[in-house]
Structure 1
Amino acid sequence: MFARSAIRTLAAPSSRLFSSSSARHTKVAVLGAGGGIGQPLSLLLKTDPLVTSLSLYDIRGAPGVAADVSHIDTASEVNGYAADHLDDALQGVEVVVIPAGVPRKPGMTRDDLFNTNASIVRDLAAAVARVAPTACILVISNPVNSTVPIVAATLEKAGVFNPKRVFGVTTLDVTPPVTVVGGHSGATIVPLLSSSNGKSVSGEAYEKLVHRIQFGGDEVVKAKDGAGSATLSMAYAGAKGVTTPTFVKSPLFADQGIDFFSSNVELGPEGVEKIHPLGELSAQETKLLEACLPELKKNIEKGKAFVA
């Protein structure tokens, strides 16, 4: 949901980010278009009237995905790019969505994907910095707690980092109408039930509900029995609210050395316009947040250290 909100907000004719002319010609790149998330994401973006040019890239399969979705009778242009044409895929792009990487298997945490996905995301971010340095970047590749800092550090190294234009997609954690803050992995996921209809839940029911929100992705991985992870729901999250939780560079806990945090973020013409405070927390939520912060800090530092 968030990424589609971002695309719609940033590409809307009323937005000052693009002129009315460029708003009619919004080019979006999907890096990792041949994968389990990339394929349905490409399908959804092809149906979005605000996406008039769709650039699909992967180390394998992207030209085939492009040929397939090009038969959808919307006005947008679609081009597929193979492994050695990454720079071509990024020419003139205004929004980049990154679902590239390997999926989870049963028994794996999102953090277990770090060794493989970290280098993939770093190299893609380096290409964006080189070819499309002003593009908005929406990161789906896990572990988001570490890959977003990797993207930020890579852009910073290239001298083009704009904290308003880098987002981690964490919408899979959100259970309407519950705001979920923190990060995007296990204990770093903090649902604020007290500010929703869940405020009356307590005791064992509360513990079960929190666990279900924190580990909902694991349910999907287990149900697919080794055949994939939460690909369809994440593709939907990556293609679909202007105020929604997303993992961004944030001042909320910067004084504790945690400079990325997921909270309600309001989008505007330049990307991130306002980062909303958490508001009053219940005693249970304060305890969840206390468990979240040290784990989240480790995840963030791991991403930064990888680039350094």
Structure 2
Amino acid sequence: MRRAKISIIGAGNVGATCAHWCAAAELGDIVLLDIPQTETMPAGKALDLMQASPIMGYDANVTGTTDYADTADSDVIVVTAGIPRKPGMSRDDLLATNAKIITSVGSEIKKTSPNAVVIVVSNPLDAMVQQMWKVTGFDKSKVCGQAGVLDTARYRTFLAMELGVSIEDISALLMGGHGDTMVPIPSCTSVGGIPVTQLIDAGRLEEIVDRTRKGGAEIVSLLKTGSAYYAPSAACAQMVEAIVKDKKRLIPVAALCESEYGVGGYYVGVPVIMGKEGVEKIIELKLTDTETSAFENSVNAVKTLVASMNELLSA
């Protein structure tokens, strides 16, 4: 049986670590691509990963390249390409530069892997995945963004730390844009089946939510010379696994909502069923009035971001 072909565009920290997670889990054969200016760097990282396989006991071919021809006919493509955040820089500061990069990458993907499921990781996420969908012209199910899995993981981590319980017992959901307007859904957050609101008071819970919203910036400020990559790449690998194994995972991702939630044609974080076809179904929840208001505010922020991107690209 043919192995899945997984191409990762961008061989920086997020891309290379995603390749590591995917190889270690034997999700398929991996192509790690970066721009020609990086010369042999992707090949070096790929070879290093291959040499780790006899030690760690995984069987996956990893190839490093600067040529999109090597990514041809990929089943899944993870796009991490773009400039990373630096201390004091917001995701939105990356808008103009990364929108042009995504446009270039999307054009290459359209030519070389027209049947792939594309997972966008580049920031600002919601605008970048919108641009990827526009450039490729792929079905909306085939283009999605990784944000909800990461944001929810951060939220679950902070809740487990607060309560002193195993992260395995934390079930949570965040929706909306990837950034300061992300929306926690308390009605879908529990600890061992117990609603989180019975274990943490409203004020403290809001502090944890606020830390989650700023989770990426907190790591940027600690690292000083880069941004988070272990958790973002692990989140990507979980999405890749859901696709190549057709797992039908119910996870939050940035998906194109049209009639759903009344969004009207924008990518925003929502719970979906993810399988071999990509985003196979968007799950519509009955939100409380407070949750609905917060979600609408987050969607409006995404719309403003996309409008700014389109203005910059047309200038």
Scaled by the length of structure 2, the TM-score of the pair is 0.81
Structure 2 residue 292 is the aligned partner of structure 1 residue 286:
yes
Counterparts of residues 269-284 of structure 1 (less than 5 Å): 269-281=276-288, 283-284=289-290
User: Which residue among 304, 310, 313 is the counterpart of 1:298?
Assistant: 304
User: Which residue among 67, 78, 88 is the counterpart of 2:62?
Assistant: 78
* Kept after mapping to 2: 8 A contact 1:144/1:184: yes
Moved more, 201-210 or 191-200: 201-210
Structure 1 residue runs of 4 or more that deviate by more than 4 Å after TM superposition: 252-256, 303-308
User: Which residue among 164, 167, 186 is the counterpart of 1:193?
Assistant: 186
**1:236 aligned partner:** 234
What residue ranges of structure 2 are gaps of 5+ in the alignment? 157-170, 191-195, 243-248
* Kept after mapping to 2: 8 A contact 1:30/1:42: yes
* Kept after mapping to 2: 8 A contact 1:248/1:260: yes
* Kept after mapping to 2: 8 A contact 1:149/1:304: no
User: Which residue among 51, 58, 67 is the counterpart of 2:34?
Assistant: 58
Structure 2 residue identity aligned to 1:210: V
* Kept after mapping to 2: 8 A contact 1:122/1:307: no
Structure 2 residue identity aligned to 1:40: T
* Kept after mapping to 1: 8 A contact 2:174/2:184: yes
DSSP-derived class of the 2:258 partner: strand
* Kept after mapping to 1: 8 A contact 2:96/2:313: no
DSSP-derived class of the 2:13 partner: coil
Q: Larger relative CO (CA 8 A, sep 6+): 1 or 2?
A: 1
d(CA) in 2 for partners of 1:238, 1:56: 14
**1:32 aligned partner:** 10
DSSP-derived class of the 1:100 partner: coil
- 1:134-158 deviation line (CA, Å, top 9, x unaligned): 10101111111110011011012xx
* Kept after mapping to 1: 8 A contact 2:117/2:142: yes
Once the two structures are TM-superposed, the CA of residue 178 in structure 1 deviates from its matched residue by: 1.6
DSSP-derived class of the 1:68 partner: helix
- 1:70-122 deviation line (CA, Å, top 9, x unaligned): 1123322221112xx12x22212111001111111111111111122111111
* Kept after mapping to 1: 8 A contact 2:96/2:312: no
**2:25 aligned partner:** 48
Once the two structures are TM-superposed, the CA of residue 236 in structure 1 deviates from its matched residue by: 1.1
Structure 1 residue identity aligned to 2:113: A
Change (3 A) 1:236 1:268: closer
* Kept after mapping to 1: 8 A contact 2:258/2:264: no
Once the two structures are TM-superposed, the CA of residue 207 in structure 1 deviates from its matched residue by: 2.8
Q: How many correspondences in the alignment?
A: 274
What residue ranges of structure 1 are gaps of 5+ in the alignment? 1-20
Change (3 A) 1:243 1:307: farther
User: Which residue among 103, 114, 120 is the counterpart of 1:133?
Assistant: 114
DSSP-derived class of the 1:37 partner: helix
Structure 2 residue 177 is the aligned partner of structure 1 residue 183:
yes
- 1:146-176 deviation line (CA, Å, top 9, x unaligned): 10011011012xxxx1111111001221023
* Kept after mapping to 1: 8 A contact 2:85/2:94: yes
Counterparts of residues 68-147 of structure 1 (less than 5 Å): 68-71=48-51, 72-73=53-54, 74-82=58-66, 85-86=67-68, 88-147=69-128
d(CA) in 2 for partners of 1:272, 1:293: 19
* Kept after mapping to 1: 8 A contact 2:77/2:119: yes
Once the two structures are TM-superposed, the CA of residue 199 in structure 1 deviates from its matched residue by: 2.9
Moved more, 212-221 or 290-299: 290-299
Change (3 A) 1:254 1:279: closer
**2:145 aligned partner:** 168
Structure 2 residue 44 is the aligned partner of structure 1 residue 67:
no
d(CA) in 2 for partners of 1:271, 1:280: 25
Query: Cα RMSD (Å) of the superposition?
Result: 2.0
**1:222 aligned partner:** 221
DSSP-derived class of the 2:89 partner: coil
d(CA) in 2 for partners of 1:253, 1:209: 28
d(CA) in 2 for partners of 1:307, 1:249: 21
Scaled by the length of structure 1, the TM-score of the pair is 0.83
